[in-house]
Structure 1
Amino acid sequence: MTTLPLTPTQARRAVLSRRIRLFAAATITYNVIEAVVALWAGGVADSSALIGFGLDSVIEVASAVALSWQFSARNPERREHLTLRIIAASFFALAAFVTVDAIRSLTGGGEAQHSTPGIVIAALSLAVMPILSWLQRGAGRELGSLTAVADSKQTLLCTYLSAVLLAGLVLNSTLGWWWADAGAALAIAAIAAREGIQTWRGDACCTVPHAPEAADRGADDCCTTIN
């Protein structure tokens, strides 16, 4: 019976690194389009949730660029720690901005209007992002890259945000619940802050089979909720 190696060979690592760069490029391309549509639609509809979603797309682009920068080096592991910090900081920036904007809306800063483009982009992202996240996470886990897994969580977060955004926009459009938009924005901020804390602490390592910390960490919060 043949025993599979615990760690990938050098040739396999090269293949996985190329895949991660490809997935990062796909993430950048899609999220640039998503950001433009969401920010434009959010401005037109005065929607805090849509603006927050658009900013998350911008942050996802920054995260993917950081990941591409890391894997452009001959020894990507040397850039691992800094890249994790960049990804975590991007989560915190998103959470802070969206929270302030949502509170502004709830305290009389403006009621969100119906947005068909917003509903369409949220539904499209709900279909696309889980697939991209799954592919990236698989490559990151096999390679043992904390940053690739963290970036896949950033992409998966977009799925959750899409669902929350879609619910808020539909409730606002069909029932006139303008506060649902701000509520969705606050939910987006809370999820982003949580992911930022986990990424800053390096909790992504619990999802990486080959990471040294994984053997000692066991199943913790990020293992049980983001798998």
Structure 2
Amino acid sequence: MTAISLGPSPARRDALTRRIRLLVAATITYNVIEAIVAITAGTVASSTALVGFGLDSVIEVSSAAAVAWQFSATDHTVRAAREKTTLRIIAVSFFALAAYVAVDSVRALTGTGEAGHSVPGIVLAALSLAIMPFLAAAQRKAGRELESASAVADSKQTLLCTYLSAVLLVGLLANLTLGWTWADPIAALVIAAIAAKEGRDAWQSKGCCAPTPLGSPAVKPEVDQCGCAAGCGCC
């Protein structure tokens, strides 16, 4: 057995907590704007893909708000107690997203409804494709160092928005330039499967191990890249 790091110092932990709060606030702000623009543009163009993308942004807000609620507690013990509830909320949001995308994709494949062209939708999808990977990477890095399963799970939700942005962009461009109506729903079904898997992982996660008190020996026989014992689900 090999001794491992005791984890972030109290000062570093506080700094990481503040960073996650800022990242979550930025994610919520962007997704509120994204939801308004996407749902409005989707309604005007009768585009179920755009409306669905906007609803995904609403789910993103609920997930980020759950993490914000967890990290609003100044006491680490209280934050740890809120971890499981936060993971459940994130898991449910993944399942809801997967269900909506799957149903909407099947509806599109059966030829129900015909979307018009949407230049604002194309611009929004391209912008999200450029912004979301950086937000997701920053939150995942901070969450893993802080050993917060909920922060890492929320970063996956943000990363999933990147995939949906790519799907939406391809679909809108294909509709605009080639008249293809099948590419978007097929790719969206793949995204639905990914969302369902992430939801399952978040639901089954046990959260992070309780940190070892400073000054105490920390010896764990099997640890992952977060420094958590096997089965803790921090990553």
TM-score of the aligned structures, taking structure 2 as reference length = 0.83
Whole-angstrom distance in 2 between the partners of 1:207 and 1:120: 40
Alignment pair present for 1:145 and 2:148? yes
Whole-angstrom distance in 1 between the partners of 2:224 and 2:133: 17
Structure 1 or 2, whichever has the larger Rg, is 2
TM-score of the aligned structures, taking structure 1 as reference length = 0.86
SS in 2 for 1:109: coil
How far does the alpha carbon of each residue in 1:59-105 deviate from its partner, in whole angstroms, 9 at most, with x for none?
A: 11001100010011222111111100100100111111222222223
Identity rate of aligned residues, in percent?
A: 65
SS in 2 for 1:62: helix
- Structure 2 runs not aligned, ≥5 long: 209-222
- Structure 1 runs not aligned, ≥5 long: 218-222
Whole-angstrom distance in 1 between the partners of 2:42 and 2:146: 38
Q: How far off its partner does 1:114 sit? A: 1.2
Alignment of 1:66-85 (within 5 A): 66-73=66-73, 74=75, 75-85=78-88
- The count of residues paired between Structure 1 and Structure 2 equals 215
Whole-angstrom distance in 1 between the partners of 2:182 and 2:138: 36
Q: Paired residue for 1:101, among 104, 114, 120? A: 104
Give, as a single letter, the amino acid of the residue that structure 2 aligns with 1:23.
L
Whole-angstrom distance in 2 between the partners of 1:207 and 1:151: 20
The answer to whether the Cα contact below 8 Å between 2:117 and 2:175 also exists between their aligned partners in 1 is yes
Q: How far off its partner does 1:5 sit? A: 4.2
CA RMSD of aligned residues (A): 2.4
Q: How far off its partner does 1:12 sit? A: 1.0
Q: Paired residue for 1:196, among 194, 199, 219? A: 199
Alignment pair present for 1:179 and 2:182? yes
Whole-angstrom distance in 2 between the partners of 1:26 and 1:136: 11
The answer to whether the Cα contact below 8 Å between 1:48 and 1:185 also exists between their aligned partners in 2 is no
The answer to whether the Cα contact below 8 Å between 1:149 and 1:204 also exists between their aligned partners in 2 is no
Alignment pair present for 1:112 and 2:115? yes
Give, as a single letter, the amino acid of the residue that structure 2 aligns with 1:186.
L
Whole-angstrom distance in 1 between the partners of 2:155 and 2:190: 20
